[in-house]
Amino acid sequence: MAIQTRPQAGGATAAPPELAITAHDLVKTYRGGIRALDGLSLAVEAGTIFALLGPNGAGKSTTVRILTTLARPDAGSARVAGYDVVAQPDRVRRAIGYVSQKSAVDPEATGRENLTLQGRIYGLRGRELRQRVAELLERMGLADAADRVAGTYSGGMQRKLDILMGLIHRPRVLFLDEPTTGLDPEARAELWAEIARLAREEHLTVLLTTHYLEEADRLAHRLAIVDRGRTVVEGTPEQLKGELQGHTIRIELAAAVAEPRIQAALAPLPGLREVSLRDGAIYARADSGGAAIPAVLAALEASGVPVAAATVARPSLDDVYLRYVGRALDAATGKETGR
């Protein structure tokens, strides 16, 4: 779990970082006994972008639904922007913006009308509202399409409008539930840039869920890997990758070989850890990949294992995910893939 407050050295009285979101032991069971959340906890510092990373069904959306007051937890507690999500839902609602997993634009209204109505709900009026709407549409590049019915927008444009609707009332905390799922890579990269810029300009705390490792790596200051309704590990992307010391070695095999034979061949090598075989390649970790490779290749050759190629890489979030969840995350579909 995250360290929420660090003791200050020398008795200095610097304030601990302000937490915009805290959740403790959230539990949620749906009808039919499906346990979506099983004691999930997290803490997000104000002004940062935090990512919940995990496969479909891990409990990410349920967490967001509880933190945004849409759903209620069966047990546990959570505070957002200083307010309790169960006891003070109205206070929470005024302080947050929410962009759901599925687009929630009204396709029969124009972009401007969608935004204007959303603003009015929060009490914005008159000139102030008109200016805010125009300014947001301009910033997301939707100004030209503003008076077209949103049903005619592309998926990427609808997603942008969704995000603007979450921002219209200048919330302190913004929840983005899989903001780029279903977008093509170009639209996705564009939206990442927009989200990062808006978060900075609007001094937002952002909690986003994703099953794209790259998205978490690119956007998030901190991330938590969620699996089966619990937080498995939490930290900055750099910390998490750093915990996997050294390098990842990948040896592509020229022909299929049984895993026990590989384990037997590589077991005697000192400094080689977490040896595994998946998709026709050997994966292992070593403090220094460059130093380990000659011994690995020699051992494989001695055992008659045919090698096609060998690479050494710094650990990626993929490796982090694999290590903590024990399964690989297929970023294209968000589905777990067996080893």
List residues binding another protein (CB under 8 A): 31, 65, 68-72, 90, 93-94, 96, 98, 100, 102-109, 113, 117-118, 120-123, 149, 165
Q: Which strands, in side-by-side order, build the sheet including 307-313?
A: 272-278, 281-286, 247-253, 307-313
CA dist 277 and 200 (Å) reads: 42
Q: How far is the CB of 118 from another protein (least distance, A)?
A: 7
Q: How far is the CB of 215 from another protein (least distance, A)?
A: 21
Q: How far is the CB of 103 from another protein (least distance, A)?
A: 7
By beta-carbon proximity to another protein, the closer residue of 119 and 289 is: 119
CA 163 vs CA 143, 157, 190, 242, 295: distances in Å: 15, 10, 13, 33, 52
Q: How far is the CB of 114 from another protein (least distance, A)?
A: 9
By beta-carbon proximity to another protein, the closer residue of 11 and 32 is: 32
By beta-carbon proximity to another protein, the closer residue of 122 and 283 is: 122
By beta-carbon proximity to another protein, the closer residue of 102 and 273 is: 102
User: Which tokens belong to 106?
Assistant: 């009204």
Give backbone dihedrals phi and psi of 197, rounded to 5 degrees, phi first: -70, -45
Report CA Rg, the chain.
Answer: 23
By beta-carbon proximity to another protein, the closer residue of 104 and 143 is: 104
Q: How far is the CB of 35 from another protein (least distance, A)?
A: 16
User: Which tokens belong to 277?
Assistant: 């075989």
Residue with the two structure tokens 């494989």:
300
